[in-house]
C-alpha cells in the first residue's frame, strides 16, 4: 500500500468517527475503490515487465540453442579421438574451427626478392594477400636441400627430409616398393601422414583437392596415398607449345571451376593449387632476369584468378588463403639447390579470418608450418609425426585457443 492510499484510509477513519455511520460507509467504500484504482494504476506494468523478461529468457534460450547447434555443427565432425592414419595418429584434443576452407597456393621457385619487380608489380600477391594479411619476404625458410621435392614434401607433410627421406627430386614413395637411402620415420610399410590424409582421417567429408603440373606430386596424391584426395588433378606440361606456362593456365582454370563449385556447397575443404612455370623460367633464363620477372607477373595474374573465384562466391571472409614456395634461386644463375640465403628464403603469405592485416612476420616461420597452420585454423589436429607448428604470430590476439 502506498503512502497516498494510507493517507486516504486514515482520512476515512477520521471522518467516520466525526460524521456518522452512513457517511462513514460511503467514505470507506470510496476509499476501497480508490485504493483498488490506485493499485491498478500503479502496477499495470508488472505483467508487461514479466512478459518482457519471459520473452528475453525465450530469446536467450533460442540464442543458446542456435549457438549450440552451430557449435555442434562445427564440432560434430571434429569430435573424433586419436584417429590412426596408417599408424600416424593425431595430437591431443580437437580445437575450435576458425575457418572451414583453406586454399593453399604453391609457386615453385618463387624468390621473394623478385616479386615486387615483376612485370605487373604483383598486385594480387602483394596487395590482395600481403596488405590484407600477414606475410614475410625475409623471415620464412624452406629446408635443406633447397630443391623442389624436399621443399614440397616438407610443406605438405610438415616434416623435414631427414624425417621423410625425400632428399632429392628422384625420391619416390618407398611404400610403393621403391628403395630410398633414408627410411621415413613412419616406416616403409605405409604412407606418410601428409596433409590430405591427415584431414581425411579426422574429417572424411572435408573435400580435399590438389591441382598440379609437376608430375612428382603423384607421390603425395591418390596413387601414393589412396583416398586422400577427392580431386587429384594433373595438368601435363608435356606436348604443349608453352609447356608449364600452358599447364599453369589450365591449373588456374580448373582450380577456379572447382573452388566456385566447392566452397559454397561443402561444409569444409582444403585445396592445394600449384604453379610450376616460375621455376621452369628460372631454369631456362635465370632467376630474377627479365623473363623470370615477366613470368612472376603472369603467375600473379593466375593467383588473382584464384582469389577472384573465392570473391565471386562471396567466401572471402570464410577462407584461409596461404601462399608459399619451395625454394628461391641464385640471382644471375639458372639454378637453385645451394645452401645459401638466396635459395633458403621463401615468401609466405596468409590471409583470412583472425589473421592480422598488413602485418609482417617478425619471427621465423618455415614451410613445415603451412599444413599445421591450415589444420589448426580448421579445428583439425596435426599428425603426431609433424614437426611444424601453427604460425600463431599471424593470429589476431587473443589467439584462437584450444577447447
Ligand atoms: Zn622447385
Residues 145-188 pLDDT 10s? 999 999 999 999 999 999 999 999 999 989 888 999 999 998 88
Residue 143 C-alpha to ligand 1 middle, in angstroms? 12
Residue 16 C-alpha to ligand 1 middle, in angstroms? 108
Residue 162 C-alpha to ligand 1 middle, in angstroms? 18
Return the axis-axis angle of helices 370-377 and 148-157, rounded to nearest 10°: 20
Do strands 231-234 and 365-366 pair parallel, antiparallel, or not at all (unpaired)?
A: unpaired
- The Cα–Cα gap between 371 and 365 comes to 12
pLDDT tens, 115-144? 999 999 999 999 999 999 999 999 999 999
CATH number of 101-394: 3.40.720.10
- Nine cell digits for residue 362: 617478425
Residue 100 C-alpha to ligand 1 middle, in angstroms? 29
Residue 69 C-alpha to ligand 1 middle, in angstroms? 45
- In the chain, list all ranges with CATH 3.40.720.10: 101-394
Q: What angle do CA 129, 369, 165 make, to 5 degrees?
A: 130
Average pLDDT over residues 16-42: 56
Strands (E), 276-334: 319-324
Determine phi and psi for 334, rounding to 5 degrees.
-110, 30
- Nine cell digits for residue 254: 580448373
CA distances from 137 to 189, 276, 395 (A): 39, 20, 18
CB 112 within 8 A of CB 138: yes
Give the chain's count of helices (H) and strands (E): 12, 10
Average pLDDT over residues 269-290: 97
> What is this structure's pTM?
0.77
Q: What is the pLDDT, as a whole number, of residue 100? A: 93
Residue 105 C-alpha to ligand 1 middle, in angstroms? 14
Residue 327 C-alpha to ligand 1 middle, in angstroms? 6
Residues in the chain: 403
Q: What percent of the chain lies above the pLDDT cut of 70? A: 75
Lowest-pLDDT range of 28-32, 202-206, 255-259: 28-32
pLDDT tens, 321-366? 999 999 999 998 999 998 899 999 999 999 999 999 999 999 999 9
Residue 328 C-alpha to ligand 1 middle, in angstroms? 8
Q: What is the pLDDT, as a whole number, of residue 59? A: 40
Amino acid at each position: 500500500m502506498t503512502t497516498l492510499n494510507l493517507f486516504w484510509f486514515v482520512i476515512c477513519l477520521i471522518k467516520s468517527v466525526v460524521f456518522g455511520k452512513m457517511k462513514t460507509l460511503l467514505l470507506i467504500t470510496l476509499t476501497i475503490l480508490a485504493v483498488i484504482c490506485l493499485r491498478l494504476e500503479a502496477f499495470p506494468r508488472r505483467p508487461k515487465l514479466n512478459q518482457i523478461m519471459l520473452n528475453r529468457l525465450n530469446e536467450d534460450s533460442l540464442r543458446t540453442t542456435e549457438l549450440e547447434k552451430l557449435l555442434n555443427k562445427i564440432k560434430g565432425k571434429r569430435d573424433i579421438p586419436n584417429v590412426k592414419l596408417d599408424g600416424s595418429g593425431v595430437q591431443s584434443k580437437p580445437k575450435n574451427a576458425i575457418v572451414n576452407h583453406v586454399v593453399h597456393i604453391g609457386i615453385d621457385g618463387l624468390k621473394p626478392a623478385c616479386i615486387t619487380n615483376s612485370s605487373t608489380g604483383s598486385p594480387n600477391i602483394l596487395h590482395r594477400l600481403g596488405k590484407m594479411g600477414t606475410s614475410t619476404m625475409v623471415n620464412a625458410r624452406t629446408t635443406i636441400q633447397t630443391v623442389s621435392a624436399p621443399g614440397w614434401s616438407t610443406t605438405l607433410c610438415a616434416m623435414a627430409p631427414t624425417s621423410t627421406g625425400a632428399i632429392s627430386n628422384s625420391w619416390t614413395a618407398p611404400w610403393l616398393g621403391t628403395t630410398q637411402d633414408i627410411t621415413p620415420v613412419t616406416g616403409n610399410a605405409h604412407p606418410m601422414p601428409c596433409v590430405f590424409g591427415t584431414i581425411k582421417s579426422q574429417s572424411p567429408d572435408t573435400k580435399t583437392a590438389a591441382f598440379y603440373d609437376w608430375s612428382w606430386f603423384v607421390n603425395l596424391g591418390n596413387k601414393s596415398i589412396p583416398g586422400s584426395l577427392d580431386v587429384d588433378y594433373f595438368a601435363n606440361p608435356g606436348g604443349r607449345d608453352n609447356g608449364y606456362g600452358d599447364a599453369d593456365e589450365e591449373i588456374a582454370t580448373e582450380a577456379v571451376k572447382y573452388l566456385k563449385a566447392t566452397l559454397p556447397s561443402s561444409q569444409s575443404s582444403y585445396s592445394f593449387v600449384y604453379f610450376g612455370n616460375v621455376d621452369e623460367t628460372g631454369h631456362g633464363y635465370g632467376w630474377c632476369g627479365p623473363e623470370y620477372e615477366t613470368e612472376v607477373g603472369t603467375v600473379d595474374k593466375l593467383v588473382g584468378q584464384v582469389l577472384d573465384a573465392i570473391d565471386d562466391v562471396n567466401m572471402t571472409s570464410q577462407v584461409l588463403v596461404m601462399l608459399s614456395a619451395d625454394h628461391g634461386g641464385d640471382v644471375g644463375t639458372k639454378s637453385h639447390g645451394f645452401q645459401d640465403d638466396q635459395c633458403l628464403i621463401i615468401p609466405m603469405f596468409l590471409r583470412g579470418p583472425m589473421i592480422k592485416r598488413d602485418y609482417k612476420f617478425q619471427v621465423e616461420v618455415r614451410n613445415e608450418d603451412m599444413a599445421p597452420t591450415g589444420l589448426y585454423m580448421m579445428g583439425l589436429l596435426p599428425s603426431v609425426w609433424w614437426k611444424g607448428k601453427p604460425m600463431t604470430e599471424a593470429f589476431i590476439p587473443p589467439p584462437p585457443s584450444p577447447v
